[in-house]
Structure 1
């Protein structure tokens, strides 16, 4: 390694460690309606389950995110059961709402992949009600999944995350327009996080402004640790232009692709999605600008 490269890496390391990943928090006047805990469980599995649900312990005690690129560091999804120390048991409903809306925890720590600024109030209420329920999957678990340690480059990337202000503006979930519902789901299921160009160029406030929105190519790792790139989900020939609605539903709920191959980790399965919801996702994906980007498997 020559001197210039060593100097550059050293400079990035110093810059990365100095980057801000903690923020000032604020107390919010959060008033929860009368949500359905049952619907809250479904939504929590859809929105939070791919990261926080541990298949071995069958609860939301967290796990290591094996698919995250190594250059970001070691990343663990936190325990969000009701344990007061290892979990989220000490969080008030208002603090949970603030975390989900802004990605900032009660201690000021930035947790960007939990950031859902555009989630409908009713869905937010349902998720919080479920997390505070007596369901076995959220009962107190003292399990510590591991401590996240970002690399200097990872910290540098986080510093570019757009942290928005808490919004309590009566966000409604689209119901009568399939395209708008599909857009809402692609946003709040975080489909665009993985299927856009890179985690470092996401716009969580306005997802469609993310670089390479839904065009694939984001670098992840499969269950064996092999580097992979996420597929193109735009309506281009190199994407899903030839896919039917039924094929998309089978892929996201059963993990079987158009060519009958098994879709492997890190793509999560969403069996909780209704047929109307997968139809809406399909309708929306076919309205976004097509991107020519062939991803070789």
Structure 2
């Protein structure tokens, strides 16, 4: 038995050390557009804040992602302030846009949790403009949040998450259809990353093709390091079938659940969401296929 386990671990290690987590980058034709920096800050908090915003230092200098499964290794969200060495100061606007749309950094490193291939042009432009602005939260910070060290299994899993191809076509935000706007927000806020079955079976290009899409059950850790599973958000009795829109909005913006309990870490709060946006997400969740999955 020990020999079999040793052999298996050796195979995993060999595979993992050869896993591809770096890619050749390409230079894109990205023209800086006039963008609303204030809206860019709001969007950056919504899209990037749960990982990269440090509430102790009140900036985007990163932190350890303590909710990630321990078998993946130690994972840190990077410093994305304008520091040229420890942050993202060397990134050009085009390189920032490329990172968001492909999940690949300027050095070719794969950063899958930053991958938003379907982000609308106006939102992408606003986020890039904000990251290059003079706002205190993105000014150069010398803080080093820590170096990500994937385990062999973590590297192997990461290799299955492929870097994307940059979408150069114009992507418009669906503002006039609440259900389509909700779908867009579930995609770009990465709700489906945690609330689907597993990080290893996500489809970032077409989120609804992810295994167990929004049905919950993904394994994370709470603030005390205890193993937890994400809740089912589909319109099933074991999910959100009996939730009202007001209850949903209170949960995602104030952190108070339907039964008046506090929504636990690592679920981030989204006070920046407008009433129209939470209404749109709620409307979209009511349209997705229900999944029978009672999560404790």
* Residue equivalent to 2:268: 268
* Inter-partner Cα distance in structure 2 for 1:10 and 1:70: 20
Map 1:76-87 to 2 at 5 A.
Answer: 76-87=76-87
In structure 1, distance between residues paired with 2:153 and 2:227:
18
Structure 1 runs of 4+ aligned residues shifted over 3 Å read none
Measure the CA separation in 1 of the matches of 2:103 and 2:154.
16
* Residues 125-158 of structure 1 deviation map (CA, whole Å, 9 limit, x = unaligned): 0000000000000000011000001111111111
Matched position secondary structure for 2:41: helix
In 2, distance between residues paired with 1:80 and 1:255?
Answer: 26
Identify the residue that residue 213 of structure 2 maps to in structure 1: 213
Deviation at 1:98, TM superposition (A): 0.3
Q: CA deviation at 1:16?
A: 1.0
What displacement does 1:164 show?
Answer: 2.0
Contact 1:162 1:203 in 2 (8 A): no
What is residue 188 of structure 2 aligned with on the other side? 188
Give 1:39 shift. Answer: 0.1
Q: Partner of 1:160 in structure 2?
A: 160
Name the structure 2 match of 1:6: 6
* 8 A contact 1:233–1:240 mirrored in 2: yes
Verify the 8 A CA contact 2:254 2:269 in the aligned structure 1: yes
Q: Deviations over 1:76-98 (max 9, x none)?
A: 00000000000000000000000
5+ long unaligned stretches in structure 2: none
Instruction: Report the CA distance between 1:2 and its aligned residue.
Output: 2.3
Other-structure match for 1:145: 145
Question: Take 1:223 and 1:59, find their aligned partners in 2: how far apart are those partners?
Answer: 21
What's the Cα RMSD here? 0.7
Shift of 1:264: 1.1
1:107 is matched with: 107
Question: What residue number does 2:222 align with?
Answer: 222
Q: Helix, strand or coil for the counterpart of 1:220?
A: strand
Residue pairs, 1:90-129, within 5 angstroms: 90-129=90-129
Map of 1:59-78 to 2, 5 A cutoff?
59-78=59-78
* TM-score normalised according to structure 1 size: 0.99
| 2:27 alignment partner in structure 1 | 27
Counterpart residue number, 1:287: 287
